[in-house]
Chains A and B, each alone.
Chain A
Amino acid sequence: MNAALSIEGLEVAYRARGREQRVLGGVSFTIPPGGSYGLVGESGCGKSTLALAALGILPRAGRITAGNIRIAGEDLLALDAGALRRLRARQVSMVFQEPARALNPTLTIGRQMAETYEILGVPRAEGEAHAAAMLGRVHIAAASRVMASYPHQLSGGQQQRVLIAMALAKEPALLVLDEPTSGLDATVEAEVLDVIATLRRELGTALLLISHNLGVVERMCERVGVLYAGMLVEEGPTEALFADPRHPYTHGLLRCLPAAGRRKAQGRLETIPGFLPAPGRRITGCVFAKRCRLADARCHKEAPLARDVGEHGGGHFSLCHYAERVADLSRETSVEPSPASDSPAPAKTELEIENLSKTYVTGGAHVRALSGVSIVLGTGETLGLVGESGSGKTTLARLLLGLTAPDAGGSIRLDGTRLEGAASGRSQAARKALQIVFQNPDSALNRAHTVRYLISRALGRLGGFRGVRREQRLRELLAAVRLEPQYLDRRPRQLSGGLKQRVAIARAFAGEPRIVVCDEPTSALDVSVQAAILNLLAELQRERRTSYVFISHDLGVVRYLADRIAVLYLGRLMEFGPAERVFRGPHHPYTEALLSAVPALRAEHARIRLAGEIPSPVDPPSGCVFHTRCPRKLGRICEREEPPLERMADHAIRCHIPRAELPAA
């Protein structure tokens, strides 16, 4: 039988600014029928280009300069337009990152799904029946209601499952997924991945999965390829590659992630120094040599050839002269795990939130976005805010900052002083004390201004610095966030994502704030850049005793930075306590589900599935708001009575289940 996808020596170049820039330099791999292959690498490494090339849909500026691609035995490059179309209609499917952009907003889901079948020549009525059945297989319960809906009426998770249903409807030989779950909550991601895995097995479809998330790839794929600067630097069976990486880049990627249970007190995260080489640059020697700690003169001169380095067979290839020495890298840098204390040392209380609520009125309906939340945060501590989207994390952050005014009745105290609801009503000193690092630096940094202006303005307004003194502080601040002065006269669009986020951090720290709200500050960044930003935040906190309110959907990241954790669900505080105790348990069933949904590397545990998605805050469930999805629901009591937030020392949980019977890790 022919391989589902076979790529040999593929080279792709883009024409940009009049020059051919090579983005893929001789990539080869094969996916057997029904096999699954993961492609990982940071942004700019050529992952998506590879997927587009494999489907024959490169943009016009792109050109395949060498190599060949075969899908189910057919030579893609030799096909004419009609044959290519037939091949795409029957043999290959693809699902991309943003489901909302892949669905036609003006057609119902049913119509769009039926199209897939019409192309295959199935009569319309029969097609609709097939479509309904297919929706059932991707765990969409009310298939007929969903088929009558328009895309905007569905949640992101539902849209993505509809697309998967459409992609698999024709039982293709190959399914290409490009970051299929990147925009989704961990709980929803887990469900979508389950659906893909099950259907793939049933239909015998081969899978090419592209992701920056190593956990996702590990869970879904039999083989993995690591792409760097357009080269496949390492390739092998998933287990062998993750357990025993044989290329320094793979090794670095794996070590950048905050490993399970790792805390900021245990030292810095590893980073990969330097930057990806600009596309099109001709590199003599190894592409990774500039950033590699193993590199020597030979690496800079002589390009390594792929060789089999596997000790256990199965074809484990590495593009490194010194593949055998990669394992030494771990030994060099491994840190002694210091015992993490159970409760953080009692610090002076910096922030006290009491009974904070926020109700939005939209179209006559009252939406309770936040409901009676009370939290304390000590000086120099980090509060991790976790919960699915729609849980009220961002609302809480906005209330703290005064970007929205809270409902009457609640209070926010900073160092004992009560703060006005709206930032405009607060004193400049209070405003200065609370600053924020936003999720998306493209939105947070004014693109009309230079880095110098962006930071200087904040220094002037918040720090009250003028003239020479301000210039001096500017230099100090740049040094503190590790930004080279050469960037001062650049505008945000001339900076990379990591550098932009450093500028945003410098701006937040300009007025020596007491508390900085970090709203998913690394979710738009690559893992190696994320590690550097997390290190920076931890360092600034250590030096300045700044408190953080850290919002993230990545529990690994939260665990690394947070001293206390607040778990929110539908605007209610479900659990609040010292980070280690929240993680270790006993914890709330919702916390348990959140923890188990994380596709952690090399984590073997039974996954807890949450049924459905977070309910609408317009009409929250009665009793305990979590009862509709709770896998440990007791019975009627959960539907009727809202459990109190029960405190035990400094760890509070809102659940009817007695503390002793609650789950623990």
Chain B
Amino acid sequence: MSAGTTTSDAGPLAELTGDMPAEAEEPTRWAVLRRSGTFWSGTTIIGFWALAAIFGPRVVPWDPYATDLLHELAPPSAVHWFGTDQLGRDIFSRVIVGSRDILTIAPLATLLGTIVGTTLGLAGGYLGGLVDTLLGRIIEVLISLPLIIVALLALVALGLSSVTVVIVIGLVFAPLIARTVRAAVLGERALDYVAAAELRGESALAIMFIEIMPNVMGPILVETTVRLGYAIFTVASLSFLGFGIQPPSPDWGLAIAENYGVIAGGYWWTVAFDAAATASLVVGVNLFADGLHEALAA
């Protein structure tokens, strides 16, 4: 991703593009992305769950909240495709609609983490000196703490709500993103265009956000998608522990928490589909991130 790759690493083919007015070439990154099976598999999975989150409540066969005590713990059948849970709620409908909360909270938390992390990374990498040293130490401390424990403590201290979950996960992720961004900024900072901007009397903010940031969007984008995968997993974990999304939401983590007690009785379907849904979303996001990473490295 460094500037050097455009000139020095292109090998003998670089010679072909000598001193001639280059035709406005289509960036090859899009070509790589378009041909990437990884990227499209990921996009398809994420797209499916996004559609489920948006239109789910209108298309599911059953009301995901409606209890039916006569048909509790019914196995998968033509009527209840994924069976029913302990309260007789249709699991298929709940899995589909269950993507709603997690697909709101996890992306919002990631977005918050990206914004804060990018700002910190740009500041540390560009300003350097004391700012960088301080940020660096704080980041190291935060990274060394176990994620879930920190999140749990913060949630207990701040009170349980979806907003708190977003803020807590966002702030816990910020230092990780800051570290990646800072490394990319250090490479850019050494380039002459930054010196040229300083000689124009540009403010530090303008240099960070107008000059440097567009050139480190690649790493930021990749880091964001990778973090989104972790965020989904973290939200599901917190919900499972009872600190995340609260009942009666059909959230997957929550559903697993509510039903895992009955697995031993052979009622596997009460958790299997929710677990598979969580896994598929995380895998989908990771495939998407891998595809993006490949394309940006091209």
Minimal Cβ-Cβ distance residue in B for A526? B19
Task: List the B side residues contacting A278 at CB < 8 Å.
Answer: 20, 23
A199 within 8 A of B: no
Q: Would you list which residues of chain B between 1 and 53 have a CB under 8 Å from chain A?
A: 3, 6-7, 11-13, 15-25
| A44-B19, A276-B20 known; A435+B192 contact, CB < 8 A | no
Find out whether the CB atom of B201 lies under 8 angstroms from the CB atom of A428: yes
| A444-B192, A446-B215, A448-B215 known; A275+B20 contact, CB < 8 A | yes
**In the bound complex, what is the Cα–Cα distance between A456 and B88 (angstroms)?**
67
- Of the 9-residue stretches A46-54, A78-86, A303-311, which lies at the interface with chain B? A46-54
| A442-B6, A494-B22 known; A431+B16 contact, CB < 8 A | no
Task: List the A side residues contacting B13 at CB < 8 Å.
Answer: 14, 16, 59, 61
Contact partner of A447 (CB less than 8 A), chosen from B3, B18, B24, B197, is B3
**In the bound complex, what is the Cα–Cα distance between A378 and B184 (angstroms)?**
42
Q: Mark A391-405, 1 if CB is under 8 A from B, else 0.
A: 000000000011100
| A423-B198, A449-B214 known; A497+B19 contact, CB < 8 A | yes
Contact partner of A434 (CB less than 8 A), chosen from B16, B19, B199, B202, is B199
Q: Mark B261-279, 1 if CB is under 8 A from A, else 0.
A: 0000000000000000000
A106 within 8 A of B: no
Find out whether the CB atom of B21 lies under 8 angstroms from the CB atom of A275: yes
B147 within 8 A of A: no
Nearest-neighbour CB distance to chain B for A431, whole angstroms, equals 5
Task: List the B side residues contacting A436 at CB < 8 Å.
Answer: 195-196, 199
Minimal Cβ-Cβ distance residue in A for B188? A446
Contact partner of A49 (CB less than 8 A), chosen from B12, B199, B201, B215, is B12
Task: List the B side residues contacting A317 at CB < 8 Å.
Answer: none
Find out whether the CB atom of B198 lies under 8 angstroms from the CB atom of A44: no
Minimal Cβ-Cβ distance residue in A for B196? A444
Task: List the A side residues contacting B6 at CB < 8 Å.
Answer: 442, 447, 493
**In the bound complex, what is the Cα–Cα distance between A275 and B19 (angstroms)?**
7
Q: Mark B198-217, 1 if CB is under 8 A from A, else 0.
A: 11111000000001001100
Task: List the A side residues contacting B81 at CB < 8 Å.
Answer: none
A348 within 8 A of B: no
Find out whether the CB atom of A494 lies under 8 angstroms from the CB atom of B18: no
Nearest-neighbour CB distance to chain B for A485, whole angstroms, equals 14
Task: List the A side residues contacting B23 at CB < 8 Å.
Answer: 278
Nearest-neighbour CB distance to chain B for A546, whole angstroms, equals 15
Count, A-B residue pairs, CB within 8 A: 117
Find out whether the CB atom of B15 lies under 8 angstroms from the CB atom of A494: no
Task: List the A side residues contacting B25 at CB < 8 Å.
Answer: 494
A42 within 8 A of B: yes
Nearest-neighbour CB distance to chain B for A452, whole angstroms, equals 14
**In the bound complex, what is the Cα–Cα distance between A421 and B192 (angstroms)?**
19
Task: List the B side residues contacting A435 at CB < 8 Å.
Answer: 199
B55 within 8 A of A: no
Nearest-neighbour CB distance to chain B for A361, whole angstroms, equals 15
**In the bound complex, what is the Cα–Cα distance between A461 and B200 (angstroms)?**
6
B191 within 8 A of A: yes
Q: Mark A435-458, 1 if CB is under 8 A from B, else 0.
A: 110101011111111000000011
Minimal Cβ-Cβ distance residue in A for B25? A494
Find out whether the CB atom of B18 lies under 8 angstroms from the CB atom of A276: yes
**In the bound complex, what is the Cα–Cα distance between A52 and B12 (angstroms)?**
9
Contact partner of A44 (CB less than 8 A), chosen from B16, B24, B195, B211, is B16
Q: Mark A493-509, 1 if CB is under 8 A from B, else 0.
A: 11111110000000100
Q: Mark B136-173, 1 if CB is under 8 A from A, else 0.
A: 00000000000000000000000000000000000000
A21 within 8 A of B: yes
**In the bound complex, what is the Cα–Cα distance between A278 and B211 (angstroms)?**
32
| A16-B13, A442-B7, A446-B215 known; A525+B196 contact, CB < 8 A | no
Find out whether the CB atom of A529 lies under 8 angstroms from the CB atom of B19: yes
Nearest-neighbour CB distance to chain B for A414, whole angstroms, equals 14
Task: List the B side residues contacting A45 at CB < 8 Å.
Answer: 18
Find out whether the CB atom of A424 lies under 8 angstroms from the CB atom of B20: no
A663 within 8 A of B: no
Minimal Cβ-Cβ distance residue in A for B18? A44
Find out whether the CB atom of A498 lies under 8 angstroms from the CB atom of B19: yes
Find out whether the CB atom of B15 lies under 8 angstroms from the CB atom of A44: yes
Nearest-neighbour CB distance to chain B for A530, whole angstroms, equals 10
Task: Tally chain B residues at the interface, Cβ within 8 Å.
Answer: 31
Minimal Cβ-Cβ distance residue in A for B213? A448
**In the bound complex, what is the Cα–Cα distance between A246 and B139 (angstroms)?**
68
Q: Is the interface of A mostly helix, strand, loop or mixed?
A: mixed
Find out whether the CB atom of B19 lies under 8 angstroms from the CB atom of A43: yes
Minimal Cβ-Cβ distance residue in A for B215? A448
Contact partner of A499 (CB less than 8 A), chosen from B18, B21, B196, B200, is B21
Nearest-neighbour CB distance to chain A for B20, whole angstroms, equals 4
**In the bound complex, what is the Cα–Cα distance between A444 and B193 (angstroms)?**
4
**In the bound complex, what is the Cα–Cα distance between A234 and B198 (angstroms)?**
48
Minimal Cβ-Cβ distance residue in B for A519? B192
**In the bound complex, what is the Cα–Cα distance between A462 and B202 (angstroms)?**
10
**In the bound complex, what is the Cα–Cα distance between A43 and B193 (angstroms)?**
25
Find out whether the CB atom of A496 lies under 8 angstroms from the CB atom of B19: yes
Find out whether the CB atom of A445 lies under 8 angstroms from the CB atom of B199: no
Task: List the B side residues contacting A620 at CB < 8 Å.
Answer: none
Minimal Cβ-Cβ distance residue in B for A43? B18
**In the bound complex, what is the Cα–Cα distance between A449 and B200 (angstroms)?**
16
**In the bound complex, what is the Cα–Cα distance between A435 and B201 (angstroms)?**
11
**In the bound complex, what is the Cα–Cα distance between A507 and B200 (angstroms)?**
10
Task: List the B side residues contacting A612 at CB < 8 Å.
Answer: none
A621 within 8 A of B: no
Find out whether the CB atom of A48 lies under 8 angstroms from the CB atom of B15: yes
**In the bound complex, what is the Cα–Cα distance between A495 and B22 (angstroms)?**
6
Find out whether the CB atom of B192 lies under 8 angstroms from the CB atom of A461: no
**In the bound complex, what is the Cα–Cα distance between A21 and B17 (angstroms)?**
12
Minimal Cβ-Cβ distance residue in A for B195? A403
Task: List the A side residues contacting B198 at CB < 8 Å.
Answer: 403, 423-424
Find out whether the CB atom of A59 lies under 8 angstroms from the CB atom of B193: no
**In the bound complex, what is the Cα–Cα distance between A523 and B196 (angstroms)?**
19
Task: List the B side residues contacting A529 at CB < 8 Å.
Answer: 19
Task: List the A side residues contacting B15 at CB < 8 Å.
Answer: 43-44, 46-49
Nearest-neighbour CB distance to chain B for A97, whole angstroms, equals 10
Find out whether the CB atom of A276 lies under 8 angstroms from the CB atom of B19: yes
Q: Would you list which residues of chain A between 504 and 536 have a CB under 8 Å from chain B?
A: 507, 525-526, 529
Q: Would you list which residues of chain A between 225 and 261 have a CB under 8 Å from chain B?
A: none
Minimal Cβ-Cβ distance residue in B for A403? B195
A23 within 8 A of B: yes
Contact partner of B191 (CB less than 8 A), chosen from A402, A432, A443, is A443
Task: List the B side residues contacting A446 at CB < 8 Å.
Answer: 193, 197, 211, 214-215
**In the bound complex, what is the Cα–Cα distance between A21 and B201 (angstroms)?**
46
Q: Mark A408-439, 1 if CB is under 8 A from B, else 0.
A: 00000000000000011000100110111010
Task: List the B side residues contacting A424 at CB < 8 Å.
Answer: 198
Task: List the B side residues contacting A52 at CB < 8 Å.
Answer: 12
**In the bound complex, what is the Cα–Cα distance between A52 and B21 (angstroms)?**
25
A62 within 8 A of B: yes
Q: Mark A277-301, 1 if CB is under 8 A from B, else 0.
A: 1110000000000000000000000
Find out whether the CB atom of B16 lies under 8 angstroms from the CB atom of A279: yes
Task: List the B side residues contacting A448 at CB < 8 Å.
Answer: 211, 214-215
| A49-B12, A461-B200 known; A495+B17 contact, CB < 8 A | no
Q: List 7 A-B contacts (CB under 8 A).
A: A45-B18, A48-B12, A276-B19, A402-B199, A442-B7, A446-B197, A449-B214
Besides A43-B18, A435-B199, A461-B202, 11 more A-B contacts (Cβ < 8 Å) are A14-B13, A16-B16, A23-B16, A44-B16, A44-B19, A48-B15, A275-B21, A403-B198, A432-B201, A443-B3, A457-B200
Closest 3 CB pairs of A and B: A44-B18, A448-B214, A43-B18
Listed in ascending order, the chain A residues whose CB lies under 8 Å from chain B are 14, 16, 21, 23, 42-49, 52, 58-59, 61-62, 275-279, 401-403, 423-424, 428, 431-432, 434-436, 438, 440, 442-449, 457-458, 461-462, 490, 493-499, 507, 525-526, 529
Listed in ascending order, the chain B residues whose CB lies under 8 Å from chain A are 3, 6-7, 11-13, 15-25, 191-193, 195-202, 211, 214-215
